[in-house]
Structure 1
């Protein structure tokens, strides 16, 4: 195929009094890319990206042909393309280590004799500080101010570092703490749906696309912005101008019909969709929503569904541009010129959808009549485990007495809480949190929660005294419209006071339970419950004292706080007694859709968005008071326990060392199915007795100042000690012990996984890890791969991998291998095995390899085939270089040397 110019795809688009240049998909079809008008709209976005960057090098005519051929093969043919997003989005948990890496790369460039300023984002980057606020204080009007003060006390080292980064790097903006969750700031302000660039010549219009270092970057697909989560290392490469290699995806169409019935919420819908798509199997695929049901959905409902893509396993859950997109952009105070451009561009490119439009071609499809949706929760351990509200109580009792929690005594016994006038038992709700980007981006469910609170207060209901309540919205606009609607007072009366604007309970920043409650739970080994309006409820994530976690809509969070237990039938049993002594039921306090809609129309205003985002990068007086230190390179502090120069580039030369076979490796861990990145690299609290805790204590950091693993991600010493350190992870080498423990062989000594890895390193032993299905599901956490690499693990052998984590492993030079037959269960692993994998000197993408395993105790040798999950030629180059950052460094240094030679 010829070049773009001869295809003549550049066109002009006149919008108002302005003229834009764009790359026309209809023109490309006329020039020979037949059938592309029938592509899913998400695929049209990818095709436009290729057209714009086609250079017969990173993007070739064959790539364009492969996308055009998608209509016939429906994504069944594997073909690698290079995707270049318009921008990169970060939050601070994942953003700090990314900026640490960039700072370390500048040092490495200096060591290689190259210009450190070559390490500079070429793609616009926004970092939103939203993951560092913890709920230390709650239930009072002072809670917000107290938590902010504590946040700065804990994180001032990190914030100093980020202030340096915002001044040292070009194309890099930081949204200060207390503004909101990155996904909601993205939805309400940063995203534009159609992006423009006028760096060279006329202003070019093209689809807004984004990759983010948080897996829930997918929420922005609700605004017709194609985006997904990547690991920090992949995002850094994208920032530095590297295209993202990806296989042309399959696209699953999800048809929505009808509309939600009275009494249900967008949360109920998304939990239903999540369960359906998990059952369908969409890991690594795009999902695109279409159908007449879109006409009955708000943009916020779409964003709620798009947010949960990691939970249903898809790369993204995309919604096309419709009238709802235009209305939302206008309602959130986007510039009128931009709103007009979005509509004109989408219609010109065939990216606009009307309910009566013909359906695109999809790889496969499924459908849902939204009228069939019923009130639901998800839990007690996974977001895809939906349970009907009417069955939640009995379902929990089954989990309690069964294998999940192993409490056959169930609800028989309650225990006095020291110093309090109440007792606790299994199944009591001790955390009720309205939190996270999933639901607080949606005024409908927030106003519904406020109305539930208002009606409950009017009837005389109170929250049970053992429940820790909190309101942590994703945007300052939320508290504006709740106040304007007259709902704040009632939420406050029930203890749902504002605790912060950020990601709290969902990420493990729920803060400690009141000490008497915590002691009662620990002393009596109780199965306590949290109910949160978030998207993640993996075990060990929310709070170390809480073993059962349920996702629910904000109004149901309030209802469960009133009930105080997961064991009742909330739909049919009373929540409590009202002030007249009469039982009060959920139906008595549940608002109608008309009530919610009336308040939303009246009180969620354009002016609120205009005011809150008028000076979004300025920050409060705390942020403004931070003094910036350092110049081109960062002045690392030897005494810092938050930010340290990582060892990834130590001794790195211009040429990579040859890849060697894995010979006589030891087994560090054997793990089951659905091991999440939370298991591999926890984000919650740090135990004083853990290797990370001992490290901090050795450096005179008191336990009260430990903060969490998430906040310590800029310190590799803490994070490698925290790898595989989740309190709930189970290593089959030590099946009777919960937590990050293994056995060292041949000694047979039981110790922490970190200590064993360090002993193996002193012995010069490489390491491997075995795992089951869906290894690395959950957050796009690059430390799950970085920590694995730093522990000395050279290969992870699993039955299947989650998309982002597989990519992250390759990006750190760790080899992902997939069982071709049975998993590890039939191998009889004890941990003493010695593993050899040959053929790595000539490895190629998706090549079949043989693993040889020798067991010293009986002399048995087993051999089994695996698939190398280095999926693309570009990934192979990353692997050969020891990781993507090493690859980028060498290329940038070589470019600088070539320019200097000229």
Structure 2
């Protein structure tokens, strides 16, 4: 451990002496007062990890201290997070990989005990519960029972991991959503930890809490001043094993907030506005930092809401500084007086403390928003950045309806003929019948009609909003006002309430509004992400049949952060993000074909029109309710034994031992093939010759498209595999729950029912064309089936794509599956940050078209044989791509090689980051 700038200092807090690396001391040599808050955190990280240049040298510290706001990133630094947080969909494959690495390191001459987290690593089980049962008092219990029945194998494996690995803890099911638990309990804000020094002694150090999370919404913790972001499981595993993350010194965009939210607007409306503004500005790969006098009017929960959606606006993080409001939240959430004192003393000593009115930092660019201009909004119907004002939702739906119904052929069952008659009473034409089909159904002992725009799912879900008392209690108060007037949810709406943590349920009960939510069908269904990640469960049979009969384009309204195609529910094509109060409102209205600002939402029990404004609670009413109900005692009692779990959890049997005993019969947990045949020899980065195109995709292909988390279709490659292993379709569970088994997941790669391979025009479904060696006509096959034929032929594969490839969840299986299918390179117009990193980590080469070029402009149709040359063992910044058509003609173009740092080149030569780590550990043992 080096200290080139003599910044080591002592800080006394709570009668204890902490060593820390002083930024003000460094400021005596460099002008660091001008640096953004987030850059100061990076700078401290380098000071603390300086090691003479092996990983962090004097020059790296100087580079950050001399940070130039407008400069394009070109300097590599190493960042080491203080801890890692995981959720179970991404956490299970992480633990599977660690278990596999224990086996593999032994074969390379190392020791299994070398594979062990070196920093605190906490996994929260929150992605497995599904909304199988809803709208009834026992929904929570029954969904929990089903969850445990489905996932016993996975949970047994995680319990083994908790026993076997050091520094690894599991928060059991029915506790809360990972990011909410992280905010409410796990986050330290400032760490106090015994650290081993270079001479073998140890000392108590204080330093900023920084975090990597295997979920893109890890950024929620930025709301309390903790620098962290989502990474793929591959990068998280490397961090757990003590490997620093290689990154370029980022640009930082400043976002100035002024004023305060007006009456009727919520934090959800604010974050949708911020998301739209930042997406338009362009912040991919950048840090975003919020400042301005508006901060003093933003409760911590509102800040966390904004920080949560950093992936949606494309930033690496969206951070707020530590200030008095941060301490208020720490007190509210039951943190100890000692921890709060440490946070305050350290932040002030380091110049990380924010006071209203202080000069702001230098930024690479700035945006500004007056909070008073925020209006009620939703986002949709398929992207979170597509904000639409509440008053325009009905017209937005109609505008998006056309392409979705262009090819449908509804049967006309139950069509409202009278509605379609012309002024003269003439019978409507067939085209008109197809335009406005209505399906008549019988549900909950009522006759009902479904049509385009019917809301069939209304879900209060997702960490973005369920951690915010203002919007959760706002929903409860709206429900109370609605229930008093006799309003009810429409019978065809699947209603659900996923509170995000036990604390939320308690304050809803304490406020007396949980009963009111239940009167409208919003019973607690589970403590997990539920609908937001596609665990929405099946629709009632009557509703599903009604949708299918006329190929209706129905809608969901959810308080989530993602609404990509095919994510929420396979039968629901229009999905709108909204605040929890608006979720309740749309459940009452039953359709998005309505202007809730002007049209009545329903009729009262005495037959009078009721408008949304009649039931919307005032800001004062919400604020008074928060003050009366949300207190430290709720957090203290609910997090007292956060790692203990309930009876179901503790009754699950799990094996013992350093190494996991793999069960060949398991369809959930399997030793992955990444390390098969691995030796200590490092490879090279070779050119790709005579590859076939596996997929030709357009813009905004998400990680949900590449590696879906939801339903497994019976006739899909994954479904056929499970059936062949004796698994009944009723027991398929979801792709997300089976991420511990590569046989399932590789078959699910590119299997999203909404993905469009442009080889087939606008046709949906995960198919491609297989070109055999014999010159026969190409064969249309599922992507997995074609990939296996190509693998048998010894033919490599490439993928072409448009802008924002890999948008969405930090899903490492989107890269793992791509690798296992035999894809050597992905050539896209642009990549989302995390997915590009994941591809590199799995040995798949990301290449970027030159500006203004894409597959379409180059005349590529997917039939070509493709070669990528000039890679020069990873030293080249550009490569030559040659695409040869069947008639012998060629198209040659240059593409940028997106191996962004020397460390990434090194990882790639090893075949991926995990292979690199294994060889390093095995070599250390051998030495």
The bucket for the TM-score relative to the shorter chain is over 0.9
Q: Does 1:317 align with 2:315?
A: no
Aligned equivalent of 1:779, options 778, 803, 809: 809
Q: Structure 2 vs 1, CA of residues 231 and 351 (structure 1 numbering), >3 Å: closer, same or farther?
A: same
Q: Does 1:112 align with 2:114?
A: no
Aligned equivalent of 2:924, options 884, 888, 895: 895
Q: Find the counterpart in structure 2 of residue 183 from structure 1.
A: 179
Correspondence list, 1:128-147, <5 A: 128-147=124-143
Q: Does 1:416 align with 2:440?
A: yes
Q: Distance in 1 between matches of 2:4 and 2:726?
A: 67
Q: Distance in 1 between matches of 2:298 and 2:402?
A: 40
Tell me if the contact between 1:418 and 1:520 (Cα under 8 Å) persists in the aligned partners.
Answer: no
Q: Distance in 1 between matches of 2:340 and 2:706?
A: 43
Q: Find the counterpart in structure 1 of residue 427 from structure 2.
A: none
Q: Find the counterpart in structure 2 of residue 63 from structure 1.
A: 60
Aligned equivalent of 1:89, options 74, 85, 89: 85
Aligned equivalent of 1:715, options 733, 741, 763: 741
SS of the counterpart of 2:587?
A: helix
Q: Structure 2 vs 1, CA of residues 102 and 4 (structure 1 numbering), >3 Å: closer, same or farther?
A: closer
Aligned equivalent of 1:690, options 702, 716, 721: 716
Tell me if the contact between 2:850 and 2:896 (Cα under 8 Å) persists in the aligned partners.
Answer: yes
Correspondence list, 1:286-305, <5 A: 286-305=287-306
Aligned equivalent of 2:888, options 859, 867, 880: 859
SS of the counterpart of 2:489?
A: coil
Q: Which whole-Å deviations, capped at 9, do the CAs of 1:97-132 have from their partners, x for residues lacking one? A: 010000010111122232111110111100000000
Tell me if the contact between 1:321 and 1:351 (Cα under 8 Å) persists in the aligned partners.
Answer: yes
Q: How much does 1:796 deviate?
A: 0.2
SS of the counterpart of 2:759?
A: coil
Q: Find the counterpart in structure 1 of residue 865 from structure 2.
A: 834
Q: TM-score, normalised by structure 1?
A: 0.98
Q: Find the counterpart in structure 2 of residue 663 from structure 1.
A: 689
Q: Structure 2 vs 1, CA of residues 140 and 653 (structure 1 numbering), >3 Å: closer, same or farther?
A: same
Tell me if the contact between 1:400 and 1:406 (Cα under 8 Å) persists in the aligned partners.
Answer: no
Q: Distance in 2 between matches of 1:315 and 1:73?
A: 16
SS of the counterpart of 1:512?
A: coil
Q: Distance in 2 between matches of 1:889 and 1:528?
A: 49
Q: How much does 1:4 deviate?
A: 4.7
Q: How much does 1:625 deviate?
A: 0.7
Q: Which whole-Å deviations, capped at 9, do the CAs of 1:281-303 have from their partners, x for residues lacking one? A: 00000000000000000000000
Tell me if the contact between 1:125 and 1:171 (Cα under 8 Å) persists in the aligned partners.
Answer: yes
SS of the counterpart of 2:672?
A: coil
Q: How much does 1:205 deviate?
A: 0.5
Q: Which whole-Å deviations, capped at 9, do the CAs of 1:752-805 have from their partners, x for residues lacking one? A: 011110000010000000000000010000000000000000000001000000
Q: Find the counterpart in structure 2 of residue 807 from structure 1.
A: 837
Tell me if the contact between 2:441 and 2:450 (Cα under 8 Å) persists in the aligned partners.
Answer: yes
Q: How much does 1:660 deviate?
A: 2.4
Q: Find the counterpart in structure 1 of residue 633 from structure 2.
A: 607
Q: How much does 1:142 deviate?
A: 0.3
Correspondence list, 1:155-304, <5 A: 155-200=151-196, 201-304=202-305
Q: Structure 2 vs 1, CA of residues 759 and 872 (structure 1 numbering), >3 Å: closer, same or farther?
A: same
Question: Structure 1 residues 653-662 or 808-817, which shifts more?
Answer: 653-662
Q: Which whole-Å deviations, capped at 9, do the CAs of 1:646-705 have from their partners, x for residues lacking one? A: 000000001123332211000000000010000000011000010000001111111111
Aligned equivalent of 1:795, options 808, 815, 825: 825
Q: How much does 1:842 deviate?
A: 2.7
Q: Find the counterpart in structure 2 of residue 27 from structure 1.
A: 25
Q: Which whole-Å deviations, capped at 9, do the CAs of 1:372-405 have from their partners, x for residues lacking one? A: 0000000000000000001111111121135687
Q: Find the counterpart in structure 2 of residue 732 from structure 1.
A: 758
Q: Find the counterpart in structure 1 of residue 590 from structure 2.
A: 564
Q: Find the counterpart in structure 2 of residue 766 from structure 1.
A: 796
Tell me if the contact between 2:18 and 2:205 (Cα under 8 Å) persists in the aligned partners.
Answer: yes
Q: Distance in 2 between matches of 1:5 and 1:507?
A: 45
Q: How much does 1:523 deviate?
A: 2.3
Q: Which whole-Å deviations, capped at 9, do the CAs of 1:135-162 have from their partners, x for residues lacking one? A: 0000000000000000000000000000
Tell me if the contact between 2:439 and 2:547 (Cα under 8 Å) persists in the aligned partners.
Answer: no
Tell me if the contact between 1:432 and 1:470 (Cα under 8 Å) persists in the aligned partners.
Answer: yes
Q: How much does 1:5 deviate?
A: 3.4
Tell me if the contact between 1:75 and 1:248 (Cα under 8 Å) persists in the aligned partners.
Answer: no
Tell me if the contact between 1:311 and 1:778 (Cα under 8 Å) persists in the aligned partners.
Answer: yes
Tell me if the contact between 1:658 and 1:841 (Cα under 8 Å) persists in the aligned partners.
Answer: no
Q: Which whole-Å deviations, capped at 9, do the CAs of 1:64-95 have from their partners, x for residues lacking one? A: 1110111x454434100000000000000000
Q: How much does 1:841 deviate?
A: 4.2
Q: Which whole-Å deviations, capped at 9, do the CAs of 1:214-255 have from their partners, x for residues lacking one? A: 000000000100000000000000000000000000000000
Q: How much does 1:350 deviate?
A: 1.0
SS of the counterpart of 2:675?
A: coil
Aligned equivalent of 1:504, options 530, 538, 544: 530
Q: Distance in 2 between matches of 1:16 and 1:167?
A: 33
SS of the counterpart of 1:737?
A: coil
Q: How much does 1:837 deviate?
A: 1.1
Question: Structure 1 residues 199-208 or 508-517, which shifts more?
Answer: 199-208
Q: Structure 2 vs 1, CA of residues 406 and 375 (structure 1 numbering), >3 Å: closer, same or farther?
A: farther
Q: Distance in 2 between matches of 1:342 and 1:736?
A: 54
SS of the counterpart of 2:33?
A: helix
SS of the counterpart of 2:674?
A: coil
Tell me if the contact between 1:29 and 1:35 (Cα under 8 Å) persists in the aligned partners.
Answer: yes
Q: Distance in 2 between matches of 1:811 and 1:653?
A: 18
Q: Does 1:438 align with 2:464?
A: yes
Q: How much does 1:20 deviate?
A: 1.5
Q: Find the counterpart in structure 2 of residue 308 from structure 1.
A: 309
Q: Structure 2 vs 1, CA of residues 517 and 252 (structure 1 numbering), >3 Å: closer, same or farther?
A: same
Q: Find the counterpart in structure 2 of residue 7 from structure 1.
A: 5
Tell me if the contact between 1:75 and 1:251 (Cα under 8 Å) persists in the aligned partners.
Answer: no
Q: Distance in 2 between matches of 1:339 and 1:213?
A: 27
Q: How much does 1:202 deviate?
A: 2.9
What is the aligned-residue RMSD (CA, Å)? 1.3
Tell me if the contact between 1:835 and 1:853 (Cα under 8 Å) persists in the aligned partners.
Answer: yes
Q: How much does 1:736 deviate?
A: 4.6
Q: Find the counterpart in structure 2 of residue 539 from structure 1.
A: 565
SS of the counterpart of 1:700?
A: coil
Tell me if the contact between 2:453 and 2:592 (Cα under 8 Å) persists in the aligned partners.
Answer: yes
SS of the counterpart of 1:432?
A: strand
Q: Find the counterpart in structure 1 of residue 420 from structure 2.
A: none
Tell me if the contact between 2:686 and 2:873 (Cα under 8 Å) persists in the aligned partners.
Answer: no
Q: How much does 1:6 deviate?
A: 4.7
Correspondence list, 1:355-504, <5 A: 355-402=356-403, 412-417=436-441, 421-504=447-530
Q: Structure 2 vs 1, CA of residues 73 and 404 (structure 1 numbering), >3 Å: closer, same or farther?
A: farther
Q: How much does 1:16 deviate?
A: 3.6
Q: Which whole-Å deviations, capped at 9, do the CAs of 1:176-202 have from their partners, x for residues lacking one? A: 001000000000000011011114333
Q: Distance in 2 between matches of 1:759 and 1:601?
A: 63
Q: Structure 2 vs 1, CA of residues 811 and 405 (structure 1 numbering), >3 Å: closer, same or farther?
A: farther
Q: Distance in 1 between matches of 2:406 and 2:697?
A: 19
Question: Structure 1 residues 741-750 or 135-144, which shifts more?
Answer: 741-750
